Amino acid sequence: MGRLENKVAVITGAASGMGRATAIRFAGEGAAIVIADLNEEGGEAAVRQCRENGGRAVFQKTDVSNEAAIQAAIARALSEFGRLDITFNNAGLGGALGRLEDTTVENWDRTFAVLLRSVFLGIKHSIPAMRQAGGGSIISTASIAGILGQAGPLVYSVAKAGVIHLTKCAAVELGKDRIRVNCICPGGINTPLLQKHIPGGEPVARQILEVMQPLARAGAGNDIAGMALYLASDDAEWVTGTAMVVDGGFVARGNALANLSFDVPAMWSGPSFEKN
């Protein structure tokens, strides 16, 4: 029997990268999954891979910054599979890039809508269904950029710090309902979101990431999927309010990026499948 047998999960941003890797891993462990993403082509491909790995899955087109869309994704889990046990608030983007003084209020708000408000919405609307199920596991993607200064774009980093603190506060509030709330802080993961901004794409991104941390290889989606599986499973039934660092030792060594310049022009970095 798989570690997630008979459990139902909603995973946002599951059409590619860490989300897709997690969905496929969950499917292989017996879970039924709602693939919640804006990327229809990637989402349907993820559904096929989940089914090939022995699980059940459906695609739900979802704008995570929209409350009604989050509600619809959770409602889809209930209508298709009858319950909700796991929510993985994973969808993300680079958001506002550039110096603080050049950042527009519009791009600040757009970044927070996807990276932080979506996590609030995912937690909020998971509560009734998980309470009815007798408990559940809510996982969100934060970042080492939310722990270390200048380990990522400024607005992104502040939003991810908010995810970490929201995780802790929600865990305290929801403990009485046996709803566990944790987040994962990835380091340098070689995903399409990162590759789209590096000339040369995946191979060059991998070479850069290989030298950033003591474990000298680039992070992969499966590294995050493994931690998400642990947090979603009953193995973690006494784990809540944590920010689990999965970074090959980057934080332990210290911020190797602190002396690097991030003086890029002000711009907007959207989802990996969209051209900016």
Residues labelled as active-site residues: 156
Give the Cα separation of 211 and 217 in Å (integer): 7
Give the Cα separation of 7 and 14 in Å (integer): 17
Q: Is the dihedral of CA 201, 205, 208, 211 positive or negative?
A: negative
Give the Cα separation of 126 and 179 in Å (integer): 10
CA neighbor of 77 nearest in space, from 119, 120, 34: 34
Residues in contact with 43: Cβ distance below 8 Å, sequence separation at least 6, in sequence order:
14, 15, 35, 37, 59, 61
Give the Cα separation of 187 and 145 in Å (integer): 8
Q: What is the H or E stretch that residue 87 is in?
A: strand 86-89
* Length of the chain as a residue count: 276
Q: How many helices (H) and strands (E) does the chain have?
A: 10, 9
